[in-house]
Every structure is written in structure tokens, then in C-alpha cells.
Amino acid sequence: MAHVESLLCTGSADVRIIGIWGMGGIGKTTIAEAIYTKVSSQYEGCYFAANVRENWEYSRKNELRTKLLAGVLGDQNLDISTPTISSTFVVGRLRRKKLLIVLDDISDSKQIEYLVGEKDWFGPGSRIIVTTRNKEVFNSGVDELYQVKVLNSHESLKLFSLNAFQQDHPMREYQHLSDRAVDYAKG
């Protein structure tokens, strides 16, 4: 997480897209949420678009984009019903703000294009974090890529024990069951 966080806090005036990818359930969203919570105060506008893949599948893409733009611009009356965000007024407002946007659980690069448009539409220092299971989503347009790796069996058992027993090892009478649970989860 520290590596991803450092990409956000570099002080660079460039607009940057940071990708976080890995298998389902590995913690991509948790990492994005933790970073968002920690650094959002450094931005003039922030928005966390959760479960994009799911909302996209239920044909709520216009609603998702409108909420995102209304959230970062602080304008709850904003309504964009056109297929593109080409409005000079909206793009002009975006360019004047340093924004933090998280697009969680993206399944296709077209979703990124539809929701945030072009990098030059955002103010200096803006950051867009994208989480996905599919690395191919980042074939173009991502500035930094962070892979969330699977835990080894020792790390998995420690994490499991911290959550189940509030200590870094399983209780003796639950050792075998804990080992089985960790093996089943596969890191």
C-alpha cells in the first residue's frame, strides 16, 4: 500500500492514472479505500465509485457518471445524459480542480473512458485510481501499475489468526482447522 500511496503524494502536477490489479478478494478495494481515506483531504474534490462492473452490468452507466461528476464538482444538480462529457462548461470546471477519483472493480477500459474521459480534462495534480481483476484493462493510458500479490501460507495464517483470534497465531485447539481454512483460501 505504501508504494501506491507514494504515487499519489509525489507532488507532481501531472494528472496520473494508477492501476491496482489482482485476483478477486485479494484486497484491491480495501487498499483503494485506505488510500482514499488517508489522502482525500489533499484534493479539492473526491469521489469513490464502488462496484463499477456491477453497476455497469445493470445499465446504470449514465447514473454512475453523473454521480461521479456531481461528487467531484460539488454540484448535486448536475445531469449529463449525453454519451460523452464534451461539455465545455463541465470540462472547464474539472480542469480547475485537483481531483481524486477511484474507479473500483473496472472490467473494461471503455468504462474508464466513459466515466472520466481524457486525462487533460482534470486539474494539475489530479489522481485517478482504478482497481480491476483484469490486467488487460490497463493496456493503454495507465501511468503506474501495482499488482496485489497473493499471501504465502505463513502470511495467510497470520492474517487469519489476527482476525479470528486477535493474535498472530491460531489457538492451539484450532490449529488444524485454521490450516485448512488458509489452504482453502489459497493466499
Q: Where does the pLDDT of residue 8 fall: very low under 50, low under 70, confident under 90, or very high at 90 and above?
A: low
The domain tally of the chain equals 2
| pLDDT single digits (tens) 148-177 | 998 888 988 888 888 889 998 899 999 999
pLDDT in tens, 100-133: 999 999 999 999 988 888 888 899 999 999 999 9
Same domain, 110 and 23: yes
Q: Does 128 lie in the same domain as 64?
A: yes
pLDDT for 72-95, tens place per residue?
888 766 666 555 555 677 778 888
Instruction: Identify whether residues 80 and 16 lie together within a single domain.
Output: yes
DSSP string, 80-119: --SSS---HHHHHHHHTS-EEEEE-S---HHHHHHHH--G
For residues 143 and 171, membership in a common domain is answered with: no
Verify that 5 and 76 share a domain, yes or no.
Answer: yes
* pTM for this model (two decimals): 0.80
Span 13-59, pLDDT tens digits: 799 999 999 998 888 999 999 999 999 999 999 999 999 998 887 76
- Greatest Cα pair distance in the chain: 65
In a shared domain, residues 139 and 180: no
Q: Are residues 159 and 99 in the same domain?
A: no
Structural domain that includes position 132: 1-147
* 70 and 159 inside one domain: no
Residue 59 shares a structural domain with residue 6:
yes
pLDDT for 81: 59
